[in-house]
């Protein structure tokens, strides 16, 4: 058995002809930068998410940067970030001279803990910082509890930037991810739920003014006249070729989300009685970027799986606050216990839409044999 952690080839086999034709169309028209496929894909994204503005860019990290730049975030501003996430969530605010401020997560969802966030605001104010932005991250595909976060931000002037790099396609009480914060970002890195064949990302917002500024910043701060730039910008565009590929992949994406749901249900039914499996609250649908377990003897279980040729990955072995480059940034006074604890216990299993039931059975039987 040659089991992969993520197998992208099965999806490619399915739509290879469509992909070849889409790539050939771009080679024929030759508009490699901001070609017609980019606009078409942005329209498709708007229809899919129900958001009024979808702006593509070079990657999911730039998407965060674009929004923070558009909001004018910089020195003196605190940007609240769950400590248990991928580094990009924290990197962008630090780059702009703002202060990433780490708060804890909830064990049940892996997502930002609203009480810890509230405490972090008080701490930041005491430290002389301006609480400016919170970045709830939809970790492993599960939307963060934005309604509870909103109850806190409403009392302050704090903007919500949802990092949905892992949760594109998920839904939260009837709304698609993309429509939930003041702005939302995602990534089309190949291994994300909707991935291209290179780097790509997008910003979503219902705020038309914000969208105009992001559109300008992603093109060097352009104004209406090409050589009169209005502001400092960056160069962050989605390649036309990647847009052409994503148009084809988005067509089968709704079905793939269902297939991911089936994989997670199958894992749940086979593992739920003896392992702490991921829980999804009522009214929420995950996009299942990862299927992540919490295990007391994680490293031993991982070794056991390795020996049975079952790939597994630790997302993430260190909380961000524990990483050398970030240890000087402030964190909430109540501590980051859950983030630090999770980094010792989490283990993600193979997850992709085309994972076969017989492979799921093998993975679950192997895990069961460890515990028997
Ligand atoms: C992947 C990821 C990003 C960054 O996306 P890139 O496209 O790789 O820049 C940001 N945040 C989270 C949580 C991610 O998983």
Token couple for 28: 């024929």
DSSP letter string, 158-185: -EEEEE-TTTTT-EETTEETTSSSSEEE
Query: Cβ(138) to ligand 1 under 6 A?
Result: no
Q: Probe ligand 1: pick from 59, 61, 237, 315, max atoms within 8 Å of CB? A: 61
pLDDT in tens, 250-263: 999 999 999 999 99
Burial class, 184, CB count within 10 angstroms (exposed 0-12 / middle 13-18 / buried 19+)? buried
Please report where in the chains the tokens 């050939």 appear, as a residue. Answer: 24
**What count of other Cβ atoms lies within 10 Å of the Cβ of residue 167?**
32
**pLDDT at 226 (0 to 100):** 75
Q: How far is CA 207 from CA 41, 51, 132, 183, 253, in A?
A: 20, 10, 17, 8, 26
Query: 137 CB less than 6 Å from ligand 1?
Result: yes
Per-residue pLDDT for 1 more than 90? Answer: no
The overall average pLDDT reported for the chain is 97
Higher pLDDT, 147 or 224: 147
Give the rounded percent of residues in the chain with a pLDDT score beyond 90: 98
Which residue has a Cα nearest atom 1 of ligand 1?
Answer: 165
In angstroms, what is the span from residue 88 Cα to ligand 1's centroid?
6
57 contact partners, CB below 8 Å, separation of at least 6: 63, 66, 200, 201, 202, 203, 218, 236, 237, 238
Nearest CA-CA partner of 314 in 303, 324, 327, 323: 303
3-class state of residue 242 by DSSP: helix
Task: Locate 125 and state its tokens.
Answer: 């104010």
CA atoms within 13 A on the CB side of 322: 19
Closest CA to 341 of 82, 89, 107, 81: 107
Q: Which atom of ligand 1 is nearest to the CA of 59?
A: 7
Atom number in ligand 1 closest to CA 192:
1
* pLDDT category of residue 344 using cuts at 50, 70 and 90: very high
- Atom from ligand 1 closest to the CA of residue 139: 13
CB 111 near ligand 1, within 6 Å: no
**Token pair of 208 as six digits:** 């038309």
Q: Pick the closest to residue 9 from 140, 168, 197, 186 (CA basis).
A: 197
Q: How confident is the model at residue 224 (pLDDT cuts 50, 70, 90)?
A: confident
Quick one: average pLDDT of 144-161?
97
Residue 136: CB within 6 Å of ligand 1? no
> DSSP alpha helices (H): ranges in the chain?
9-29, 36-49, 60-70, 88-95, 114-126, 146-153, 208-217, 240-271, 298-307, 337-345, 357-371
> In what side-by-side order are the strands of the sheet with 183-187?
53-57, 201-205, 183-187, 159-163, 130-134, 77-82, 99-103
- DSSP symbols for 101-154: EEE-B-TTTSSB-HHHHHHHHHHHHHTT-EEEEE--B-GGGPPP-HHHHHHHHT
Name which residue sits closest to atom 6 of ligand 1, judged by CA: 60
Q: Which two tokens stand for residue 184?
A: 């939302």
> Residue 328 carries which DSSP code?
T
- Cα(128) to centroid(ligand 1), Å: 30
Distance (Å, whole) CA 347 – CA 248:
32
- Does residue 137 have a pLDDT over 80? yes
Look at residue 196 and tell me whether its pLDDT is greater than 80.
Answer: yes
Does the pLDDT at position 30 exceed 80? yes
Q: Which atom of ligand 1 is nearest to the CA of 187?
A: 7
Are 291 and 349 contacting, i.e. CB atoms less than 8 angstroms apart?
yes
Tell whether ligand 1 has an atom less than 6 A from the beta carbon of residue 88: yes
Identify the pLDDT of residue 2: 83
Q: Which atom of ligand 1 lies nearest, measured to the CA of 138?
A: 13
Rg over CA atoms, the chain: 21
């Amino acid at each position: 058995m040659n089991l992969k952690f993520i197998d992208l080839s099965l999806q490619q086999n399915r739509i290879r002809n469509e992909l070849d034709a889409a790539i050939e169309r771009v080679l024929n028209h030759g508009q490699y930068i901001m070609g017609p496929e980019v606009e078409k894909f942005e329209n498709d994204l708007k229809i899919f998410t129900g958001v009024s503005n979808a702006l593509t860019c070079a990657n999911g990290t730039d998407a965060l940067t674009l929004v923070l730049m558009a909001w004018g975030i910089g020195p003196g501003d605190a940007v609240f970030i769950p400590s248990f996430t991928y580094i990009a969530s924290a990197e962008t605010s630090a780059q702009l001279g703002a202060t990433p401020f780490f708060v804890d997560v909830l064990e049940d969802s892996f997502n930002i803990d609203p009480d810890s966030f509230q405490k972090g605001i008080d701490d930041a104010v005491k430290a002389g910082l301006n609480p400016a932005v919170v970045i709830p991250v939809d970790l492993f595909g599960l939307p963060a509890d934005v309604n509870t976060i909103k109850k806190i931000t409403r009392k302050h002037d704090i903007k919500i930037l949802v990092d949905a790099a892992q949760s594109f396609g998920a839904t939260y009480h009837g709304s698609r991810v993309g429509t939930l914060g003041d702005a939302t970002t995602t990534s089309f890195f190949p291994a994300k739920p909707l991935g291209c064949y290179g780097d790509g990302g997008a910003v979503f917002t219902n705020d038309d003014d914000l969208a105009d500024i992001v559109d300008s910043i992603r093109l060097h701060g352009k104004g209406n006249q090409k050589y009169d730039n209005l502001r400092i910008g960056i160069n962050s565009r989605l390649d036309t070729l990647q847009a052409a590929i994503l148009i084809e992949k988005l067509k089968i994406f709704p079905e793939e989300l269902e297939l991911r749901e089936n994989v997670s249900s199958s894992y749940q039914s086979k593992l739920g009685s003896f392992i702490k499996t991921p829980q999804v609250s009522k009214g929420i649908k995950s996009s299942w970027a990862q299927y992540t377990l919490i295990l007391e003897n994680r490293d031993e279980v991982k070794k056991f799986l390795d020996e049975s040729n079952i790939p597994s990955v630790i997302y993430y072995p260190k909380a961000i606050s524990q990483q050398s480059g970030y240890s000087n940034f402030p964190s909430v006074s109540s501590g980051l216990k859950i983030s630090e604890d999770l980094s010792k216990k989490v283990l993600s299993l193979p997850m992709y839409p085309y994972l076969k039931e017989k492979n799921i059975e093998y993975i679950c039987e192997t895990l069961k044999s460890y515990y028997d």
